[in-house]
Amino acid sequence: MTSPSSPPTTERTPPPTPRRPSTTGLCLILTAVLAASVVCGVALGPVSLPFADVLRFLHAALTGGTIDASEAGPYRIVWDIRLPRVLLAAVVGAGLSVVGVAIQAMVRNALADPYVLGISSGASVGATAVATTGLFASLGIYALSTAAFLAALAAMAVVYLVAGRNLTPLRLVLTGTAMAYGFSAIAMLLVFQSPRGEAARAAMFWLLGSLGGVTWASLPIAAAVVLAGVAYLQSRAKHLNALSMGDETAITLGIDVSRTRKALFLVTAAMTGVLVAVSGAVGFVGLMLPHLVRLTVGADHRKVLAVAPLAGACFLIWVDVAARLLAAPEELPLGVITAALGVPCFILLMRRRGYVFGGR
């Protein structure tokens, strides 16, 4: 039975070999795009600033130059408000996409994302606890991040202990998912029990991801953790290649699978914890960016891990710009934009090439 529109099914012609761009060239281009995105990200917002001014202010700030006293207002916006926020968007985007790549290889599952290990749901318990009960009030604006990070660490320990000695992919994913349900239930309970109605909204907004109110203070730790994590994962690129071929094959290629997976779990969980603490749980980036990158450069993790951080950084800067602009002066949650921007982009790319998900 064939419908008139179906293609002829005589012989399965081998799909054409996708032409893949040189990774070095792509990285150079993406670095340039990233630099341009940072400038645009600083210039664009509810108060738009001329690019020339932005560049001049940045130059002045970096070289210790001077600006006119009358420009103190716009300069504040550029240096104190927009720049740390844009840089943090870059850090979070880079971190999430790299963690997504590593976790998908580590649990050998194309549907995995940084949140599959339950770390972010754990963090949400900490965040909602702060939002609803006023815990850690003495820490001021850092209360939410601190609580989220501590709860993420606790969640990491719980998942690690429950998954047991033998961190097989299925056990990890199942444990992470089951724990995520548990943590979410606790977070929901906290929201519903809370006498403060505003708390529910604050917690929900935080869960969907936001970079509003970011200051320079939250940047150094997040940047250091992401840089170290990216460097570590890049050094393990060949191991990730071997792991994605199956545990038995990885062993015959000389990989101590259980030790490698434990190390990867600790690194990716710590990175996820920090990222969630500074920006909430931004969805989609960690799931789809890895696939977008693989569509472009192939599955070799040496290439994927070189391109993914740059692509993720650019992507999230623009997502954050959209979050600021689309409903100004209100801010949209990042998770809403990542999905709205990412899905069409993804469909477009998927239709263009013969990309095979999950091997079947």
299 closest CA partner among 169, 112, 113, 104: 104
180 closest CA partner among 199, 207, 201, 143: 207
* Phi/psi of residue 330, nearest 5 degrees: -70, 155
251 sits near other proteins (criterion: CB under 8 A)? yes
53 sits near other proteins (criterion: CB under 8 A)? no
Residues 97-136 that bind other proteins (CB under 8 A): 104-105, 108-110
Enclosing H/E stretch for 69: none
Nearer to other proteins among residue 76 and residue 238 (C-beta): 238
65 sits near other proteins (criterion: CB under 8 A)? no
Q: CB atoms < 10 A from the CB of 348, how many?
A: 9
186 sits near other proteins (criterion: CB under 8 A)? no
* Cα–Cα dist 289/309, whole Å: 9
Token pair of 265, please?
A: 């779990």
Segment interacting with other proteins, rule: CB under 8 A, options 54-62, 298-306, 323-331, 333-341: 298-306
| Residue 156 near residue 270, CB atoms below 8 Å | yes
Nearer to other proteins among residue 145 and residue 244 (C-beta): 244
CB of 233 to other proteins, least distance (A): 15
| Residue 236 near residue 306, CB atoms below 8 Å | no
Segment interacting with other proteins, rule: CB under 8 A, options 132-140, 154-162, 265-273, 297-305: 297-305
Q: Give every CB contact of residue 301 below 8 A, 6+ residues apart in sequence.
A: 101, 105, 237, 238, 240, 241, 244
242 sits near other proteins (criterion: CB under 8 A)? yes
356 sits near other proteins (criterion: CB under 8 A)? yes
What 8-state DSSP symbol labels residue 117?
G
One-letter amino acid for residue 133 of the chain? T
Instruction: List the one residue from 129, 255, 285, 334 that touches other proteins (CB under 8 A).
Output: 255
CB of 95 to other proteins, least distance (A): 21
CB of 292 to other proteins, least distance (A): 13
CB of 353 to other proteins, least distance (A): 10
Q: What separation in angstroms does the CA of 4 have from each of 1, 13, 273, 288?
A: 10, 20, 53, 34
128 closest CA partner among 176, 193, 200, 197: 200
Instruction: List the one residue from 47, 60, 221, 245 that touches other proteins (CB under 8 A).
Output: 245
Please spell the DSSP secondary structure of 177-195, one letter per residue: HHHHHHHHHHHHHHHHH-S
171 sits near other proteins (criterion: CB under 8 A)? no
Instruction: List the one residue from 58, 202, 247, 350 that touches other proteins (CB under 8 A).
Output: 247
CB of 359 to other proteins, least distance (A): 5
Question: Which position has the token pair 């013969």?
Answer: 354
Nearer to other proteins among residue 121 and residue 268 (C-beta): 268
300 sits near other proteins (criterion: CB under 8 A)? yes
Nearer to other proteins among residue 31 and residue 249 (C-beta): 249
* Cα–Cα dist 308/92, whole Å: 12
* Cα–Cα dist 61/66, whole Å: 8
298 sits near other proteins (criterion: CB under 8 A)? yes
Residues 336-355 that bind other proteins (CB under 8 A): 354-355
7 sits near other proteins (criterion: CB under 8 A)? no
Greatest alpha-carbon span in the chain: 78
18 sits near other proteins (criterion: CB under 8 A)? yes
- Helices 197-207 and 169-193: angle between axes, nearest 10 degrees: 160
158 sits near other proteins (criterion: CB under 8 A)? no
Nearer to other proteins among residue 200 and residue 299 (C-beta): 299
Q: How many residues bind other proteins (CB under 8 A)?
A: 33
Which chain residues interact with other proteins by CB under 8 A? 14-15, 17-18, 104-105, 108-110, 238, 241-242, 244-249, 251-256, 294, 298-300, 354-356, 358-359
